[in-house]
Structure 1
């Protein structure tokens, strides 16, 4: 587990962990060695002149005081390392997530990463602050005490040594028996969390359907599965806990019987027997704690495994010698792209000269939005090439490529800040006049004027305090402020009311002016002014041409036009 922890932390953060582990190990060794002084202390106390025990008592007190200092330093080092590494881990995770292809964020990944980045990282890093010290002490201190017993009486030491592999075997067996149930409980917990969120988000639908007093079946089933998984996990833990406790107690009883036998036979004195029993009891406490520590460590290990898998996810490769495009034309050359075992784009070729507008239409699932994602390099193509300014996007640095592209999606996400802060994401260094000009061009100034607080009005998480049309205006203002030469539009007006649609159309027209544009639309009125229209079906180009030409042909585009207009 330590190796995995060091791998997850990376080279920069591994040295503090190594130092902390070394310090905790030294502390555990000193704790075990301090017990060796019990033999001379008790021997003198039970002897004819108890006052002779004073030097040994002073030595014992000094060693215990040294151990206390070491324990304080090691515990503080663990807490300091834990908090430092928690901060560093968040930075490392954030840097890695920022480098992963945007196409990776799909399916249930956002929820998984959210859970991992919150509770998962905290649980994994708590190993250093809260679990590492007790675990090292529980493993090292008993071994040192066994060594002390061997030094004073080989028979008692050998009896204690026999218990070591037995405890290790029981602990390993308990860990293996609980691993499957722990994983199942985690999966059920993750599923139940998703169902709770779904239930909360579905309240408008449930209430509209008159199901306010009715239970949500999917949530009930998920919680029932979680309860059953938790019960199985608890039952699976019982044999290990009981087995470990029984093994430790049997070993302690055996040492007690052996010590009594040796004392009655005169091989050892009462003082030595008492010291041996104290040391045996001192071994029992940390060994019994291994069952609880093992469960917590398994939970942390599962989170570390997920973190390790995430950090091992390869980002899209950056070119070793980036090339800068000379112009802003776009070309798809025999592009093939597969996702989820399905061919989404199939040997597609088309070009958009600089400054022209291409509209992509077609039925749902035809691969329209995928073209925009491939152009922005959310994914890498499986075949062919996509070029910007005659340069393959794979040979352009991500920073250079994204600086040349402005994207306006149908679903706009805004950060929980002010309107101005969200607009400035397009170009953080823009001055106030440029921000106001972009807002006016997107007709966002109308929204700002009627909101309490104006430009300082907060938009809420995800822009929840704004309507869909208002969020879209913020997105267009952001794209206008960025002033990129290539514009990608994805269904920007499909869910807007007529007033907002008209305002957004005006903003989009200003955004597209003089730029290379690739737009996807279901409302075909938005594509009539395109220089070229491509009708996509099944990842292939079924028809292409200008609006009037395609209507005159009476083919797929004409049928689609008549069906949706």
Structure 2
């Protein structure tokens, strides 16, 4: 699972690391074989004969120490190197997943996986893999050594191997459900923490902070209970392993004494075998602790593996290039969350023209924009750009042709210039300044301390809604894409900011193919064609004046917007 999470490009260094760790563990076990001739000589009639064996044992111990140092160092280096690679792999994969995957429950899950989860995965390499390999391979090597010196004692020690393996497997299976529950509770608690922090303005305004804190507190208590159950479920395995190891050692002691009294084996050999058995007992007993840590890391790895195995939107084997920048939706159907959001919608936008999409909340307007940008794939029908199905255009080529300005603008915690440059990172300074001036962002920059170097805060929290919109428009202007998608960008702005943003939008839209979701009629009047959407269906379609003359749903919507409650 670890190799699967790391990916094929990182499998080779990982396998080399495991092979080095296994070699080190075998070297440790084999070095103990020299204890038998050492003790035989020391307990014999000429103790001085032990010197060559002592020197050999010292050399073997030094060789093992060098291998152990190299093995541990390699584990740390490989773990550190793969940490960056795994972050990039996870980030790239998350960026390719369809937006429908990002439900509300994903916030806590992705937060845990991208933070502690990745670190836990790499800690397996840096901290757990070497001791686990040593605890498994070294005792097996010692058993082989015992078999070489005395088959009866070696066979007695070998009997413990399947028992220990069975206990580890049984413990893993019995704790799997509790470990999974604990992980789920961790994700839920993290989501509650994020929710609690984000909802502070609303909760304080409603005087509900105490109630919300109780919900969070309940979630944390569930984490505590799940951890307690997980610990209790692992306890039988810990006790069983300890009893098995102690029983093995006692059995070897009894068998060795019997063979020595019978004259089948010397006292030195019995003593050496018992020393070997005692040395193999320590790593075996550590298996319970290491196994528990590995099971915890395994649960995290399973979560990372599940995310990385989630299928992104498929890429065409032979991508097409659009022959122009006109847009078409042909009998498009899209379902989400068990309901039909877009139902048999057909419309077209000639290159360089503007289409306004109007309708009540929940009509599917924003979803239509997301389908054009291929944030989702349609369930039926097709969305085309320049005659090519967007599913047959590479994601990179499609995104290069589209600039999107959403109502809720997200800015990264950096400078204003860094956020504008996201539109085209290789743009020169003059182009960035020109885009800012066209979006009237320069007015904002002049009054901010630090100017272009002013930080916008997390999510753009240090700027107002109108200022964030100007940054988004400047970013889109800098991108200079031939297709522009607008999603109600002025619906929540004050008159001053709306006028500035509207001016920037007009410059952005000039000469481009445009699909705009709009509530403000000032924006709708500038469109070449209007589509009224309701319940995921096109109810009316035509020019602004034509639809007013018809006196249908659009006319009602228009007249409602002119009332004081909805006026501009």
Note whether the superposition's TM-score is higher than 0.5: yes
* SS across alignment from 1:7: helix
Cross-structure match for 2:334: 337
* SS across alignment from 2:530: strand
Alignment of 1:130-149 (within 5 A): 130-149=127-146
Which one of the candidate residues 536, 545, 553 is aligned to 2:542? 545
* SS across alignment from 1:216: helix
TM superposition shift of 1:559: 2.8
Which one of the candidate residues 294, 297, 301 is aligned to 2:294? 297
* Distance change in 2, residues 1:118/1:214 (3 Å): closer
* Distance change in 2, residues 1:472/1:434 (3 Å): same
1:312 to 2:314 alignment: no
Inter-partner Cα distance in structure 2 for 1:149 and 1:212:
67
* SS across alignment from 1:13: helix
TM superposition shift of 1:33: 1.2
Inter-partner Cα distance in structure 2 for 1:210 and 1:99:
40
Inter-partner Cα distance in structure 1 for 2:412 and 2:198:
20
Cross-structure match for 1:186: 183
Kindly provide the CA deviation profile for residues 122-170 of structure 1, in whole angstroms up to 9, marking residues without a partner as x: 1112211111111111111111111111122222111111111111111
TM superposition shift of 1:45: 0.8
Kindly provide the CA deviation profile for residues 336-363 of structure 1, in whole angstroms up to 9, marking residues without a partner as x: 1122222211111011112221111112
Inter-partner Cα distance in structure 2 for 1:363 and 1:388:
27
Kindly provide the CA deviation profile for residues 18-57 of structure 1, in whole angstroms up to 9, marking residues without a partner as x: 1111111111111111111111111111112211111111
TM superposition shift of 1:287: 0.7
**Structure 2 contact 108–188 (Cα < 8 Å) conserved:** no
Inter-partner Cα distance in structure 2 for 1:197 and 1:315:
26
So what's the TM-score if we normalise by structure 1? 0.95
TM superposition shift of 1:370: 0.9
So what's the TM-score if we normalise by structure 2? 0.95
Inter-partner Cα distance in structure 1 for 2:546 and 2:293:
69
1:34 to 2:31 alignment: yes
Inter-partner Cα distance in structure 2 for 1:362 and 1:174:
58
**Structure 2 contact 111–190 (Cα < 8 Å) conserved:** no
RMSD of aligned C-alpha atoms? 1.8
Cross-structure match for 1:449: 446
Alignment of 1:74-223 (within 5 A): 74-211=71-208, 216-223=213-220
Inter-partner Cα distance in structure 2 for 1:108 and 1:523:
33
More deviation in 81-90 or 176-185?
A: 81-90
Which one of the candidate residues 56, 74, 79 is aligned to 1:59? 56
Kindly provide the CA deviation profile for residues 396-452 of structure 1, in whole angstroms up to 9, marking residues without a partner as x: 222222222110001111122211121121122222222222112211111000000
TM superposition shift of 1:506: 1.4
Cross-structure match for 1:229: 226
* SS across alignment from 1:131: helix
TM superposition shift of 1:214: 5.9
Which one of the candidate residues 436, 439, 447 is aligned to 2:436? 439
Cross-structure match for 1:478: 475
Cross-structure match for 1:244: 241
- Structure 1: runs of 5 or more not aligned: none
TM superposition shift of 1:110: 4.7
1:523 to 2:514 alignment: no
- Structure 2: runs of 5 or more not aligned: none
Cross-structure match for 1:403: 400
TM superposition shift of 1:477: 0.8
* Distance change in 2, residues 1:182/1:404 (3 Å): same
* SS across alignment from 1:189: helix
Kindly provide the CA deviation profile for residues 453-511 of structure 1, in whole angstroms up to 9, marking residues without a partner as x: 11111111211111111111000011111121211000111222222122111111221
Inter-partner Cα distance in structure 1 for 2:173 and 2:319:
49
Cross-structure match for 1:560: 557
* SS across alignment from 2:463: coil
* SS across alignment from 2:22: helix
Which one of the candidate residues 377, 380, 383 is aligned to 2:380? 383
More deviation in 276-285 or 303-312?
A: 303-312
* Distance change in 2, residues 1:390/1:112 (3 Å): same
1:423 to 2:420 alignment: yes
More deviation in 356-365 or 92-101?
A: 92-101
Inter-partner Cα distance in structure 1 for 2:299 and 2:323:
49
Inter-partner Cα distance in structure 1 for 2:250 and 2:63:
32
Which one of the candidate residues 369, 372, 377 is aligned to 1:372? 369
Inter-partner Cα distance in structure 2 for 1:215 and 1:495:
28
**Structure 2 contact 109–188 (Cα < 8 Å) conserved:** no
Inter-partner Cα distance in structure 2 for 1:123 and 1:67:
28
